[in-house]
Chain A
Amino acid sequence: MLTLECPYCGVMADETELTAGGEAHLKRFGPGSSDEDFEAYLFERENPKGVHFERWRHSHGCGKWFHAARNTMTLEVYGTYPAQTSEPPVEIRNKISGIAPGWSWRLFK
């Protein structure tokens, strides 16, 4: 079973305690944006084979949304971090580089 550490309450939470929220760090395109941007924002996901940054909610715990960095090919968890950021923190990125050199996700490497 997947376990993630909630960065808010510190609990090591089992998957059954959490709700997956999909790809993280999406830039919102709303009214007034182009059709292309709006479509991409709503539907086009990275869906990578490898490193993935994603949103989770500690729904049966403290209720907070947070982020996780995970590998979709190995199910390895690189770490979790709070939701108040628009990009993956440097520490997490460095940690991933140590474990999986050559990774990339959107503009990040």
Chain B
Amino acid sequence: MKRYSAFAIAREALRFHTGWERAWRSPEPRRRYDVVIVGAGGHGLATAYYLGKNFGITNVAVIEKGWLGGGNTGRNTTIIRSNYLQDPSAAIYEKARSLYETLSQDLNYNVMFSPRGVIMLAQTHHEVRGYQRTAHANALQGVTTEWISPERVKELVPIIRLDGPRYPVMGGLWQARGGTARHDAVAWGYARACSAMGMDIIQKCEVTGVRTEGGKVRGVDTTKGPIDCGKLGIVVAGHSSHLAEMGGFRLPIESVALQALVSEPIKPCMDVVVMANTVHGYMSQSDKGEMVIGGGTDGFNNYTQRGSFHHIEETVRALIETFPMISRLKMLRQWGGIVDMTGDRSPILSKTPVEGVFVNCGWGTGGFKAIPGSGWAMAELMAKGHSPLTADFGLDRFREGRFIDESVAAGVAH
């Protein structure tokens, strides 16, 4: 792999950009790998990357039915934060956020991490109490967040209206080192680094079956033929129930559509991320100038990557109350992704009833921010059989009633 650098740009400029090599190889699958990962979203690719980087396991294939990052990783609104209430959540999301800080250098790929700050608005007394409690919990967890006054909110977000008729802004939970990153680049950067370690990234190859023998995994069937493996990681977000069925076990997951939309590009007007969970909407401004807007999920099972229009209407209506100046903006694009909602709305990083099969799923509406930490923890789980970061996120919690009382992946707060 040729490194990207300022020097490389100058060199290529002088020879008409003829020297850039492909960012990753696209090989045909081999007969056998030590580890096969299903799903080349951020979580699958990060799992493969840290298997190689932290554990020296590089005989790995990542198998993807579509294209790299074509699932939720390339469809999300890219908010990164780690201001959670419960210790297990704060630990894995803060691990992820801190890895994001240096991810571009680590991968030699610009993922455009922008720690511009994230505010979660408190618009009811209940939310005020909730966020103050979270700020205290974060202080104990070593996650830097702060409860801020309405005046400080206005200072940070001049376009906000504090005294809205229904839900005045009563303060906010501020995480100054939260922000955004470029979603495709996260997938591409990990893929390039995996490929450079000798791993095979195999796109347009669907896994159609999981082969087991005596309760142990043997391999997978794919549209490019059977592939044997020692260990299998299933990292397919909204498609997790389907893959689990192939493996002969079940998951506490339901798949629903979550939508987002962007406006026409305008001049810079908001340089932080604002989330308003009471009114179901959140917004940030992309580098291109588009206002990036997200809202709630549909309530019914759906695999179509299309959501219901009335959700868009509700979200936009709420945001216009909070940011009156956006009322004249035209919306450019709308899209949906199929998100994997678990019984307690927290993720699953776990062994399964089949020996050698591991799942990483249930990130629901909020897993982009978790990609580096999730990959880090999942790699440790797959390599060693246990990881401190995944201990509380096992499947057994649903049987034992040890839920994580935190709507981490809940409908709105991404």
The interface of chain A, by Cβ under 8 A from chain B, is 1-2, 15-16, 19-20, 22-23, 35-36, 39-40, 42-49, 52, 54, 70, 72-75
Contact = CB atoms under 8 A, between A and B. Distances in A.
A19 B251 contact: no
12 contacts: A1-B308, A20-B300, A23-B301, A42-B343, A44-B251, A46-B241, A47-B241, A47-B255, A48-B241, A70-B300, A72-B302, A72-B304
A75 B342 CA distance: 22
Nearest to B251: A44
Residue among B253, B300, B304 with the highest chain A CB neighbour number at 10 A: B300
B25 interface: no
B310 interface: yes
B398 A43 contact: yes
A39 B399 contact: yes
B299 interface: yes
A44 B304 CA distance: 21
B299 A19 contact: yes
A40 B252 CA distance: 8
A35 B342 CA distance: 18
B303 A72 contact: yes
B310 A1 contact: yes
B300 A49 contact: no
A70 B302 CA distance: 10
Interface in B275-310: 298-304, 306, 308-310
Given A43-B343, A47-B253, A35 B399 contact: yes
A53 B255 CA distance: 14
Contacts of B301: 23, 47-48, 52, 54, 72
Contacts of A16: 310
Contacts of A49: 242, 303
A61 to B, nearest CB: 16
Given A36-B399, A39-B399, A22 B254 contact: yes
Interface string B248-265: 001111110000000000
B343 A15 contact: no
Nearest to B306: A75
A52 to B, nearest CB: 6
B252 A43 contact: yes
A15 B252 CA distance: 25
A2 B300 contact: yes
A101 B301 CA distance: 21
Nearest to A35: B399
Interface in B291-349: 298-304, 306, 308-310, 342-343
Contact of B303 (A15, A40, A73): A73
A100 B386 CA distance: 44
Nearest to A14: B310
B69 to A, nearest CB: 21
Contact of B398 (A42, A48, A52): A42
A73 B343 contact: no
Given A45-B252, A45-B253, A52-B301, 8 more contacts: A15-B308, A23-B301, A39-B252, A46-B241, A47-B254, A49-B242, A72-B302, A73-B304
A67 to B, nearest CB: 13
Contacts of A73: 303-304
Contacts of A52: 301
B225 to A, nearest CB: 23
Contacts of B343: 42-43
B250 A44 contact: yes
B398 A45 contact: no
Contacts of A75: 302, 304, 306
Nearest to A74: B304
Nearest to A68: B300
A2 B298 CA distance: 11
Contacts of A2: 300, 308
A15 B308 CA distance: 9
Contact of B310 (A15, A39, A54): A15
Contacts of B255: 47, 72
Contacts of A74: 304
A40 B250 contact: yes
Nearest to B250: A44
Contact of B299 (A20, A40, A43): A20
Nearest to A56: B300
Contacts of B304: 72-75
- Chain A to chain B: the 7 pairs with minimum beta-carbon distance, closest first: A43-B252, A20-B299, A47-B241, A43-B343, A20-B300, A44-B250, A39-B399
